[in-house]
Amino acid sequence: MKERIKIGYIGLGRRGWGIIKIILQMPDVEVKTICDVRDDHIARTLGEFEKNGIAKPAVTHDYKDIINDPEIDAVFIMTGWGAHVKLAKESVLAGKYTGVEVGCVYDISECYELLDAYEKTGAPLMMLENGCYCRRELMALNMERKGLLGEVVHCKGGYHHNLFECDLFMKNAESGEVETNHYRLIEYANRNGETYPTHEFGPISKLLRINRGNRVMTLASFSSKARGLKEYIKENISPDHPFYNTDFRQGDIVTTVLTCANGETVMLELDTTLPRPALSRDFTVRGTKGMVSETRKTVFLSGMEESVENNDEEFYEKYDHPLHAEYAKIGPRGGHGGVDWLTIRGFVESVKRGIQTPIDIYDTLLWMSIAPLSEASIARGGMPVDVPDFTRGKWFNREPLPHNKYCLDEVIEDPSVPIYPDMKE
């Protein structure tokens, strides 16, 4: 096992900036090289090194300097969606452990390019999907694996998040000007599909044992008309904005239904351009013995009073996943209530041990494939489309992932792996 790993880090925009600040708190990770095309992003990041008293990393504008560096163990790809596949492919081909921010491919062929690269080198590729490490999602996994929910037959989730002011038309913190170049706007102008499914589908996929004894067979997507963005722009954004007159293609609500080989259905919703309350993933699991519902903040088990609601605190006390039980004692770190930390640690501990990542390439490819499959189904009026089996038949007989506490397939207690490598256990 390596005591300390060296990473290269590509992409220092908003998300990349948030995550590198977390990584700089990890004493077992050396950020050897950082890469971005924008000098202001690099300068901001170097400042963070200085603030933390950490020796400055190498700096490059060319990601190849990272991918070709034999000393680098792992590569983080934190760019916008559009560059994920190209960079991940080269990184995997170079034999690096590769962590990639959430996002989907544009064309299904890109999944096969990544798969081909993986089949050549075996270098793990992990989508850094923090939804998998959220407390409620992990409690549901824990309860399901203990049999408390009975046989799970249906799950649902969504990305319910009005992005008008936090993403699409974010104001520059200094100038107060509305930014005009968020890539999601360009996506929404051109595409119509379930382009952001993984926060909810990641944990559902794990809970349903997809790619390990189960698989997704079909996907069908349906789009409402696209009205929210255009109306918001007319009322709130200056006519100088480059998208002022755009007729967006992205429907305001995209509903997607997946069917699984083991008979489960999964319903997903993309909901980012209409007024609504705060972010929700509406994570919902339905089994023959119980239900977990984020929106209701409720766990319901057979035999309980039907009037029960808002009882999840009580269930966290009883059935918290060991990772969050430990977290509750030692306190979380980093963004999104500490789940970014857990996600990065799951990746880093795999790199240190030279084992498979908790989210593997088959998970990553399946999750990335949802956008183009969804676009195809919408274009055909909701016709179900075939979902590829990226395991190429191995799904019904695959070995479990190597065990450690970050495993998302089973629930493993493993005190030998710390959450904070700088703390004595």
Residue ranges binding a second copy (CB under 8 A): 150-151, 153-154, 162, 218, 220, 222-225, 227-228, 231-232, 251-253, 255, 257, 259, 262-265, 267, 271, 274-278, 286-291, 295-296, 298, 300-304, 306-309, 381-384
**CB 359 to a second copy: min, Å:** 25
Contacts of 324 (CB under 8 A, 6+ apart): 135, 138, 139, 316
> Counting every residue, how long is the chain?
425
**CB 193 to a second copy: min, Å:** 14
Decide whether 121 or 302 has the Cβ nearer to a second copy.
302
- Return phi, psi of residue 340, to 5°: -60, -40
**CB 347 to a second copy: min, Å:** 31
Residue 144 CA to residue 315 CA, distance in Å, equals 13
Which residue is listed with tokens 């900036």? 17
The encoded tokens of residue 237 equal 């954004």
The encoded tokens of residue 367 equal 């999750």
Decide whether 24 or 170 has the Cβ nearer to a second copy.
170
Decide whether 225 or 329 has the Cβ nearer to a second copy.
225
**CB 60 to a second copy: min, Å:** 40
Residue 155 CA to residue 258 CA, distance in Å, equals 10
**CB 279 to a second copy: min, Å:** 8
- Residue pair 367/197 in contact (Cβ under 8 Å)? The answer is yes
Decide whether 59 or 153 has the Cβ nearer to a second copy.
153
**CB 235 to a second copy: min, Å:** 9
Q: What is the DSSP letter of 124?
A: -
Residue 295 CA to residue 139 CA, distance in Å, equals 15
Residue 390 CA to residue 180 CA, distance in Å, equals 37
Decide whether 140 or 401 has the Cβ nearer to a second copy.
140
Residue 82 CA to residue 11 CA, distance in Å, equals 12
Decide whether 79 or 293 has the Cβ nearer to a second copy.
293
Decide whether 58 or 383 has the Cβ nearer to a second copy.
383
**CB 379 to a second copy: min, Å:** 13
Alpha-helix residue ranges (DSSP H) falling in 331-408: 339-353, 361-379
Helix, strand, or coil here: 381? coil
Decide whether 22 or 216 has the Cβ nearer to a second copy.
216
Contacts of 113 (CB under 8 A, 6+ apart): 85, 89
Residue 425 CA to residue 423 CA, distance in Å, equals 6
Helix %, strand %, coil % for the chain, to 5?
A: 35, 20, 45
**CB 256 to a second copy: min, Å:** 9
Residue 203 CA to residue 130 CA, distance in Å, equals 9
**CB 160 to a second copy: min, Å:** 10
Decide whether 57 or 287 has the Cβ nearer to a second copy.
287
Decide whether 14 or 289 has the Cβ nearer to a second copy.
289
Which helix (H) or strand (E) element contains residue 221?
A: strand 216-223
- Return phi, psi of residue 168, to 5°: -70, -40
**CB 248 to a second copy: min, Å:** 12
